[in-house]
A and B are shown apart, each in its own frame.
Chain A
Amino acid sequence: MNRPLPLLLTLGLLCQGTLAEPKTIHVITNDKSINALNKKKIKQIYMAGDYSEIEPLTFAKGNQWRVVFNHAVIGLQESRINAYWAQMKFTGRAEPPLEFENEQAILGYLKNNPGCIAYVPAHINLPPEIRVLYTINY
């Protein structure tokens, strides 16, 4: 009878991600030449590195929105994303997306650099020149 509690706690931890409240993310740009994107295309831009014409921006490792984005759009665990970019980097094939500490840093870079896309939580107020390309509910 001592076993069920630790077991339930473990199960609870494992299910943590799936029982949490839904989160909404906007994929955004300030570049008028970038048209609406679908999820597959966004994933491709984020995983293609140097091969993509569009430069993707992301949050630093450990950021909760990065984890949500990687689960919802890339479809991989954070650990696998890190392993993937280790592979790309040390094969000289591609560099990972530029990383930013917070939403304001991403928006600041985005405003001054055309040809980029980024993602931010939906509750962030966007400047007028920033367009939403795709909305993710996860």
Chain B
Amino acid sequence: MWRCTQVLIALNICLFANPLHSIESSLSGYARIIAGVIDDKNVSYLGYDNSLSFDQHSLVGLQGQLEFSSALSATVLAEAHSNSNEDSEVKWLYLKYQPTTSSFIKLGQLRTPFFSKSDVLNVGFSYPWISPPTEVYIDYLMKNFQGIDFRYAYLQDNYSAYLEAYYGYFDGEVTKGDFSIDTEVTNLSGLIGELKFGQFSWRAAYHLGDVSLMIADLETLSDNITSMQTALGADFNDTIDSLHTCGRAEFYQIGLEYESLNNFIISEYTLVKPQQDFFPDMNGFYFTVGRHFNNLSAWLTYGNRQDSLEDAQTEITEQIDNTPTPSSQEEAISLATLQGLDAGYQQVFAERQKDNIRSWSLGLRWDFKTNTALKMQLKQVKAKQPNNATFAVEDSNFDQKTNILLIGLEWVFE
């Protein structure tokens, strides 16, 4: 399917390129060198531990653009990452057609516009933090999709309004820490509205998609429970449904920004609601307030993440409780198998992780050149309960609280 999109882009270039219009090309890019360290032993957060490392967020991006006519252009953006969990590859490849000044269509491989800053997540020069608040900016949501994106602008004297709609699919791996899951999202679509009024801008977005996660262990467990249900003539349908890794997921987002000569505010709230019981509903929120002092900015961010999980089903447990004492070896084996299945199911559900965290961050940004900024971010993260997805912990005495220091150099060039 991706090959089809590439061919379509090439065909469009041939069909719509105006032979009288000389093709103009441009090259631009960005780079970030980020160093980070945390103050706890045997704990990892955002991939950093207690030794200074540069290998999590450092990257280089290069964007090439060909303008075939005043209305038609093609853009390719490739990134090289220091983080081995991030693929160094072409991230964007799209054709942009702008028939009027107020609208454009993009076709190809695009950024998934979940968040206010998701289009520029790797262009650190464009935002104040080094690491955008992870309470909202969930790093394992797919960052790209294949499809079409339409954007319309409505400019009035006192305000500007923008409407964006997209449709497409994602087929690839979703990575969290060292784990990768083959994922397919079809009917991926979204509607985004933006309003800019004076120094304020608002953004509201709704996204949805049919998600299929390939988790072999869950499929095997589900198959085993289905077989047992058939053998016993029991009703384990809710249990089997709770192990489904395919279903619709919805995503809601609202954002607010205020920026004046001296002060700025950035805030976002997000809610991710998967239909599947196995995965948590994710509520994220952050609020950043900052002040500019010429080329120096200082800011403070509060972040909060509150995930909620559905309880495990109890059909198999109830079946075990209602089973009379086995009177034969066959019944004893059947009961033992059922108990094993129940134990496996309950364990799988008990091991699900969720993020319940709050954080405070303090940061500085110094634009010492027009295209280069030096940043510092100090963040304290506290989990509200153990066994959360925030930290990778090897120390059972960990107090669920850590401090991370990030220092970074952000650069854009053209």
| A residues neighboring B (CB under 8 Å) | 14, 17, 38, 40-41, 44, 48, 50-53, 61-62, 71, 75-80, 82-84, 86-87, 89-93
Tell me the dominant secondary structure on chain B's binding face. strand
User: Considering only CB atoms, which chain A residue lies closest to B65 in the complex?
Assistant: A92
Task: Tell me whether B106 is interfacial, beta carbon within 8 Å.
Answer: yes
The answer on a CB contact under 8 Å between B292 and A86 is no
User: Which of B61, B158, B259, B294 sits near A40, CB closer than 8 Å?
Assistant: B158
The answer on a CB contact under 8 Å between A52 and B101 is yes
The answer on a CB contact under 8 Å between A90 and B126 is yes
The answer on a CB contact under 8 Å between B157 and A51 is no
The answer on a CB contact under 8 Å between A62 and B370 is yes
Identify the interface centre among A52, A62, A71, A79: most chain B CB within 10 Å of its CB: A79
User: Which of B153, B199, B295 sits near A51, CB closer than 8 Å?
Assistant: B153
Identify the interface centre among A52, A75, A82: most chain B CB within 10 Å of its CB: A82
Please list the 8 inter-chain residue pairs (A to B) with the smallest Cβ-Cβ separation, ordered nearest first: A79-B367, A87-B126, A91-B119, A61-B370, A51-B153, A86-B126, A86-B412, A87-B120
User: Least Cβ distance of B334 to chain A in Å?
Assistant: 60
Given known contacts A79-B297, A82-B412, A87-B119, what 18 new A-B pairs fall within 8 Å (CB)? Answer: A51-B101, A51-B155, A51-B160, A71-B261, A77-B261, A77-B292, A79-B295, A80-B259, A82-B125, A83-B125, A83-B127, A86-B125, A87-B123, A87-B126, A89-B28, A89-B63, A90-B28, A92-B75
User: What residues of chain A lie closer than 8 Å to B28, measured between beta carbons?
Assistant: 89-90
Identify the interface centre among A38, A77, A90: most chain B CB within 10 Å of its CB: A90
User: Considering only CB atoms, which chain B residue lies closest to A67 in the complex?
Assistant: B294
User: What residues of chain B lie closer than 8 Å to A76, measured between beta carbons?
Assistant: 259-261
Q: How large is the interface on B (under 10, 10 to 19, 20 to 34, 35 or more residues)?
A: 35 or more
The answer on a CB contact under 8 Å between B367 and A86 is no
The answer on a CB contact under 8 Å between B151 and A93 is yes
User: Considering only CB atoms, which chain B residue lies closest to A14 in the complex?
Assistant: B293
User: What residues of chain B lie closer than 8 Å to A62, measured between beta carbons?
Assistant: 370
User: Which of B77, B111, B292 sits near A80, CB closer than 8 Å?
Assistant: B292
User: How does the 8 Å CB contact mask read for B283-306 relative to A, with 1 for contact and 0 for none?
Assistant: 000000000111101000000000
User: Considering only CB atoms, which chain A residue lies closest to B367 in the complex?
Assistant: A79
A-B contact pairs, 25 of them (CB 8 A): A14-B294, A17-B294, A41-B157, A50-B104, A51-B101, A51-B160, A71-B261, A75-B259, A77-B261, A77-B292, A78-B370, A79-B294, A79-B365, A79-B373, A82-B367, A82-B371, A83-B127, A86-B30, A86-B120, A87-B120, A87-B123, A89-B28, A90-B77, A93-B119, A93-B151
User: How does the 8 Å CB contact mask read for B154-180 relative to A, with 1 for contact and 0 for none?
Assistant: 010110100000000000000000000
User: Least Cβ distance of A53 to chain B in Å?
Assistant: 5
User: Considering only CB atoms, which chain A residue lies closest to B94 in the complex?
Assistant: A92
The answer to whether A50 and B98 touch (CB under 8 A), given A75-B199, A80-B292, A82-B371, is yes
User: What residues of chain B lie closer than 8 Å to A79, measured between beta carbons?
Assistant: 292, 294-295, 297, 365, 367, 370, 373
Alpha-carbon distance A89/B294, docked complex (angstroms): 23
User: Which of A50, A53, A78, A91 sits near B120, CB closer than 8 Å?
Assistant: A91
The answer on a CB contact under 8 Å between B30 and A90 is yes
Task: Tell me whether B227 is interfacial, beta carbon within 8 Å.
Answer: no
The answer on a CB contact under 8 Å between B101 and A78 is no
Task: Tell me whether B18 is interfacial, beta carbon within 8 Å.
Answer: no
| B residues neighboring A (CB under 8 Å) | 28, 30, 61, 63, 75, 77, 92, 94, 96, 98, 101-102, 104, 106, 111, 117, 119-120, 123, 125-127, 151, 153, 155, 157-158, 160, 198-199, 259-261, 264, 292-295, 297, 365, 367, 370-371, 373, 412, 414
Alpha-carbon distance A89/B29, docked complex (angstroms): 10
Alpha-carbon distance A91/B30, docked complex (angstroms): 13
Alpha-carbon distance A61/B412, docked complex (angstroms): 14
User: What residues of chain B lie closer than 8 Å to A50, measured between beta carbons?
Assistant: 98, 101, 104
User: What residues of chain A lie closer than 8 Å to B104, measured between beta carbons?
Assistant: 50
User: Considering only CB atoms, which chain B residue lies closest to A60 in the complex?
Assistant: B370
User: Least Cβ distance of B34 to chain A in Å?
Assistant: 17
The answer to whether A53 and B261 touch (CB under 8 A), given A79-B367, A82-B367, is no
User: Considering only CB atoms, which chain A residue lies closest to B157 in the complex?
Assistant: A41
User: What residues of chain B lie closer than 8 Å to A91, measured between beta carbons?
Assistant: 111, 119-120
User: What residues of chain B lie closer than 8 Å to A41, measured between beta carbons?
Assistant: 157
The answer on a CB contact under 8 Å between A78 and B295 is yes
Alpha-carbon distance A41/B412, docked complex (angstroms): 29
Alpha-carbon distance A41/B160, docked complex (angstroms): 10
User: What residues of chain B lie closer than 8 Å to A14, measured between beta carbons?
Assistant: 293-294
User: Considering only CB atoms, which chain A residue lies closest to B106 in the complex?
Assistant: A92
User: Considering only CB atoms, which chain A residue lies closest to B96 in the complex?
Assistant: A92
The answer on a CB contact under 8 Å between B126 and A44 is no
